Structure 1
Amino acid sequence: MHRRRWAILGVLMLSLLIVVLDNSILNVAIKTIATPAPTGLGATQSEIEWAINSYTLVFAGLLFTAGLIGDRLGRKKVLLGGLVVFGIGSALAAESGSPGQLITYRAVMALGAAFVMPATLAVLMNVFERSEQPKAIGIWAGGVGLAIAIGPITGGALLDHFWWGSVFLINVPIVLIALALMVWLVPDSRDPKPGRLDPVGVVLSVLGLVLLVYGIIKGGELADFTDAKVLATIIAGVVVLIGFVVYEKRSDHPSLDVTYFRNKVFSAAMAAIALVFFALMGVTFFGVFYTQSVRGYSPLESGLLMLPLAAAQMIFAPRARLLVDRFGNRATTTAGMLLIAGTLAAFAGFEADTPIWLLEVVFFLMGTGMAHIMTPTSVVIMQALPREKAGSASALSNTFRQVGGALGIAVLGSVLATSYRNGIDGRLGALPPGLRDTAGESIEATLGIAEKLGPRGQALVTPAYDAFLHAMHVTALWGTGVALIGAVVVAVFLPGKAPAAEAGEREPELISTGD
């Protein structure tokens, strides 16, 4: 047990904060970045999806390797290096001159973040005894909720006063503070028997995911999933991912140890994390356009509207373990999943004039559901493996969360794009052919062209709102279906009661290279 463990937890949460903060800040900036220059970059909906997913896919693809490198070289060294790369990527992203540059620099940020995220949980598992781990993980999960709260509000405040790049530049001073505190406080540790690196597995997993996601996003952009190129890309992605699983199964040093998934509890917890983020990331994506484009709220107001979601997470994430102790993992997580499904279904009834307090209630319930999924599943996953494999367990849970989120943005973003284009196409007949195609890409594109046309463009505004609301309703129902599948998975496979740790259980000691 480390004497400064609670201070160390604070530093780890600061490091985690910027990694999570960045995505939640970007959510509020989506509309601004989609606005034509000079205000934004004039990014299309598919370019915005890639700005989010280039980060997510690189992050998810490298987490296994980053966890192993941390286990091998020392978690502190990897944390420091990851933060430096993340800070440099943030500074470059702030100065992007085109959507393509933003997508590239976001991938650089992800490279750094991939080394930060698993190391924070691995250090946490090393400095806390098993009896204190659930409490520490609960606080750590609450930190994720805090980042979700601070992100949109910080992003909104910055966008009210500065240019869009400020949402990335804000990371740089936080990185510098975290680096200084980490050098001072955090002890180094490593796995006495680290696994070998698996470059082939990393390449196969990233390539497979990028092909799959690219195909899904392209299908939404064209509003045609039967297009030969779209189908070929999706099939190629699936084939490469199957090849990845087969390779990992046969490898004597896999980055994804397939044998972990023979444990049904472990597999169900992983599936729950992936499915909840699939549903939630997709909703966040269309929620910003709903509050800003349809309802007319500023980025700051839009960020403040997200507060109940984050507040519920901060309130309930540290306390969720009390419900688990009383009712077991199965009941707690299933209830959380059903709550998420109900809140997503509520979005299918939202119109342009729905009272805003209803949205606030839905966000609060969504955060409550999320807290009662993330804490129990994180504990199940982290305690399913020996302590010296903490980096590997952390990487696995975060990978599934990120992949679930990336697929959620790709699939639900494509459902949104396809539904929107189908709804607006019939109303764009008066536009020249070149403009017609651009205007059908997203509500922001339609409203941007309507503004340029002046009085003639006013006729497009109401159809754009109607088409978007219909698309949002369809997308919300898809998300509801995914959350219900998650509820069934956890209800069937998670244990009724968390197994009690045996008294006097001994943990293997880690090699320590510092205080």
Structure 2
Amino acid sequence: MAVRERTVDLPDLSTGRRAWTVAVMCAAVGLVIAMVTVVNTALPELALHTGISQAAQTWIVDVYTLVLAALVLPAGAMGDRYSRRGVLIIGLAVFAVSCAVPLFADSTPWLIAARAVTGLGAAMIMPATLSIINASFPPEQRGHAIGIWAAVAGLGGLGGLIVAGLLLRYFSWQSVFVGPAVLAVVLAIACFTVPTSTEPASHRFDTVGALLSTLAVGSLVFGILRAATLGWGNAVVIGPIAAGLLLGCLFAWFESRHPAPLLDVRLFTNPGFAIGSVSVMVQFSAAFGALYALAQYLQLVHGYSPLKSGLALWPIAVSLFPLSLVSAHLARWLGLRLLTCAGLAVVAVGIVLLGGLGAHSDYPALAIAVCVLGGGLGLTAPAATSGILDNVPPDKYGVASAVNDATREIGAALGIALAGSVLSSVYTDSIRPSTTALPQAVREVADGSLAGALVVAQRSGAPGGGLAEAARVAFTHGMWFGLLALAGIVAAGIITVAAIRHW
């Protein structure tokens, strides 16, 4: 499908003003991504001081992703329709206020509700950042700017680990919410200095399409998130996933007949747009699934602190950042399809290398593996984002950015759920021969997780040393199969990209 030609004047910006715009937008998207791992890292201390249950902890983590994924497409369309900068500033304000809630109320309902509202703010922030960058640069200069944005988005999770580790080292658990709140306020003020743009159209906002997309993506992500704890065969998992797919089909049918759709679904018949969407989802499945497993591996198998864990993973930036800066240029030289297949193959190799880490693997093996993974992500992420944005008319940059963000969130949820469920299942099967002599209640704790097994081993005195070692080996065994499943997702992505034909 050919992109509809529509001329939109670029703002007359100096080089310094464009650089400032990129810096502010990257800080904003980095804040949104980092907020996931910041809260994950703070959960143990938060639970210790508030007494919230394990189920509540899960919801504090998941509700942010759920709301962000469900609302990002309508939020991107609102930016196009009304004002990208205006939606961004409102989103940052919502983000800041909701992050400040734990200072005044730390009960379970308040914490979960605050995280949901933070997800709403994040949904307004993410697509606006990328669409503002894209609308501020001429086509020949966008690749470098998008590469920087994609690199920051890719490294935001690791940045969150380090920031959380530093804050928790010197301050209470509330600091991991107060810090982002202050930064959001600063960024909201800074955003008044960046350019804005809107869709030059007078049609009505597609409210029905916004509602259908919210329900479809929300149901799908909810089911995927629950799979990590309930298993893929549970009705609470199957039902929402099936409902999400059916609602997605209904959304596509409705949008294809709407005179001014929220998302023109015919865009997915464009090879560049389709390849970019598949690539982004696969990349983030691999990256977030691997990060989920590695955070536990470093802290529970090797005994690293949260701060040291984050620092240990930073070699990924050595390859990710420089390759992100040239990714869009390589895509124009080699072609998006070839670069995507090659980059995803490198991602798969990195995932397999990470899965091969054992209970006694040394640090260089980890550093090499994350560098390989970072190289694959650096090659593919900016090119995929450019593939999505370059194939829409300028007045739809917000919606296209939202598609990029929605596929990221769906991919991240899928990767964590897949890696987590496979890891947990294999771990339990592997540890059981070492826990058969334990009382049933204690055995269930040890069989449930590596953390539980280490607690049991610590309380068992000298005999617990064997259990701890067996649990660590069982975990790395589970991690191998969990990351192998992620590599399978990446392989499926490569086949899909190769099969998307030109027309």
Normalising by the residue count of structure 2, what TM-score does the alignment of the two structures yield?
Answer: 0.88
Report the aligned-residue RMSD. 2.9
Contact 2:131–2:397, Cα closer than 8 Å, also in 1: yes
Contact 1:416–1:474, Cα closer than 8 Å, also in 2: yes
Aligned positions of 1:451-470 closer than 5 A: 451=458, 460-470=467-477
The residue that corresponds to 2:6 in the other structure is none
User: In the alignment, is residue 12 of structure 1 matched against residue 22 of structure 2?
Assistant: no
Deviations 1:301-349 (Å, cap 9, x if unpaired)? 1010111112322222112234334323233222211110001111221
User: In the alignment, is residue 188 of structure 1 matched against residue 196 of structure 2?
Assistant: yes
* 2:48 aligned partner, one-letter code: P
Post-superposition shift, 1:369? 0.9
The residue that corresponds to 1:33 in the other structure is 43
**The one of 271, 278, 284 aligned to 1:271:** 278
SS of the residue 2:200 aligns to: coil
Change beyond 3 A, Cα 1:445–1:254: farther
Change beyond 3 A, Cα 1:292–1:196: farther
Post-superposition shift, 1:137? 1.4
The residue that corresponds to 2:9 in the other structure is none
Change beyond 3 A, Cα 1:462–1:98: farther
d(CA) in 2 for partners of 1:310 and 1:485? 26
User: In the alignment, is residue 155 of structure 1 matched against residue 168 of structure 2?
Assistant: no
The residue that corresponds to 1:67 in the other structure is 76
d(CA) in 2 for partners of 1:106 and 1:393? 25
**The one of 336, 339, 342 aligned to 2:346:** 339
Post-superposition shift, 1:250? 3.8
**The one of 273, 297, 302 aligned to 2:304:** 297
Deviations 1:175-230 (Å, cap 9, x if unpaired)? 122122222x113321111664344444444444444444445454345x444555
d(CA) in 2 for partners of 1:89 and 1:438? 35
User: In the alignment, is residue 411 of structure 1 matched against residue 418 of structure 2?
Assistant: yes
Q: Which moved more, 1:114-123 or 1:204-213?
A: 204-213
d(CA) in 1 for partners of 2:440 and 2:217? 34
d(CA) in 1 for partners of 2:469 and 2:103? 34
Post-superposition shift, 1:83? 0.3
The residue that corresponds to 2:143 in the other structure is 134
User: In the alignment, is residue 221 of structure 1 matched against residue 232 of structure 2?
Assistant: no
Contact 1:35–1:41, Cα closer than 8 Å, also in 2: no
The residue that corresponds to 2:373 in the other structure is 366
d(CA) in 2 for partners of 1:2 and 1:454? 67
**The one of 1, 13, 18 aligned to 1:2:** 13
The residue that corresponds to 1:480 in the other structure is 487
d(CA) in 2 for partners of 1:122 and 1:218? 32
d(CA) in 2 for partners of 1:84 and 1:305? 33
User: In the alignment, is residue 171 of structure 1 matched against residue 184 of structure 2?
Assistant: no
**The one of 111, 117, 123 aligned to 2:120:** 111
SS of the residue 1:334 aligns to: helix
SS of the residue 2:195 aligns to: coil
Contact 2:67–2:218, Cα closer than 8 Å, also in 1: no
Contact 1:34–1:48, Cα closer than 8 Å, also in 2: no
The residue that corresponds to 2:252 in the other structure is 245
d(CA) in 2 for partners of 1:460 and 1:100? 37
Which 5+ residue runs of structure 1 have no aligned equivalent? 496-515
Change beyond 3 A, Cα 1:246–1:432: farther
d(CA) in 2 for partners of 1:87 and 1:291? 31
* 2:22 aligned partner, one-letter code: L
Contact 2:227–2:417, Cα closer than 8 Å, also in 1: no
Contact 1:49–1:409, Cα closer than 8 Å, also in 2: no
The residue that corresponds to 1:398 in the other structure is 405
The residue that corresponds to 1:282 in the other structure is 289
Deviations 1:273-317 (Å, cap 9, x if unpaired)? 111111211111111000000111111110101111123222221
* 2:254 aligned partner, one-letter code: Y
Deviations 1:347-400 (Å, cap 9, x if unpaired)? 221101111111011111211110110111111211101111111111111111
SS of the residue 2:48 aligns to: coil
Change beyond 3 A, Cα 1:41–1:154: farther
The residue that corresponds to 2:98 in the other structure is 89
Post-superposition shift, 1:50? 4.2
d(CA) in 1 for partners of 2:393 and 2:147? 19
Contact 1:34–1:42, Cα closer than 8 Å, also in 2: no
Change beyond 3 A, Cα 1:133–1:228: closer
Post-superposition shift, 1:413? 1.8
Change beyond 3 A, Cα 1:222–1:140: closer
Change beyond 3 A, Cα 1:141–1:208: closer
The residue that corresponds to 1:506 in the other structure is none
Contact 1:207–1:240, Cα closer than 8 Å, also in 2: yes
Post-superposition shift, 1:428? 4.2
Q: Which moved more, 1:316-325 or 1:91-100?
A: 91-100
User: In the alignment, is residue 23 of structure 1 matched against residue 31 of structure 2?
Assistant: no
d(CA) in 1 for partners of 2:216 and 2:406? 14
d(CA) in 2 for partners of 1:26 and 1:159? 11
SS of the residue 1:317 aligns to: helix
Equivalent pairs, count: 489
**The one of 249, 265, 268 aligned to 1:261:** 268
Deviations 1:59-95 (Å, cap 9, x if unpaired)? 1211121112112221121111100111122223577
Change beyond 3 A, Cα 1:222–1:128: closer
d(CA) in 2 for partners of 1:20 and 1:379? 19
Post-superposition shift, 1:494? 7.7
Post-superposition shift, 1:156? 2.0
The residue that corresponds to 2:4 in the other structure is none
Change beyond 3 A, Cα 1:411–1:199: farther
Which 5+ residue runs of structure 2 have no aligned equivalent? 1-11
Change beyond 3 A, Cα 1:204–1:24: same
* 1:190 aligned partner, one-letter code: T
The residue that corresponds to 1:498 in the other structure is none
Q: Which moved more, 1:393-402 or 1:168-177?
A: 168-177
User: In the alignment, is residue 310 of structure 1 matched against residue 317 of structure 2?
Assistant: yes
d(CA) in 2 for partners of 1:68 and 1:293? 43
Change beyond 3 A, Cα 1:385–1:220: closer
Post-superposition shift, 1:267? 0.9
Contact 2:148–2:325, Cα closer than 8 Å, also in 1: yes
Contact 1:336–1:369, Cα closer than 8 Å, also in 2: yes
**The one of 412, 417, 428 aligned to 1:421:** 428
Post-superposition shift, 1:477? 0.4
Contact 2:69–2:218, Cα closer than 8 Å, also in 1: no
Post-superposition shift, 1:454? 5.6
d(CA) in 2 for partners of 1:201 and 1:42? 37
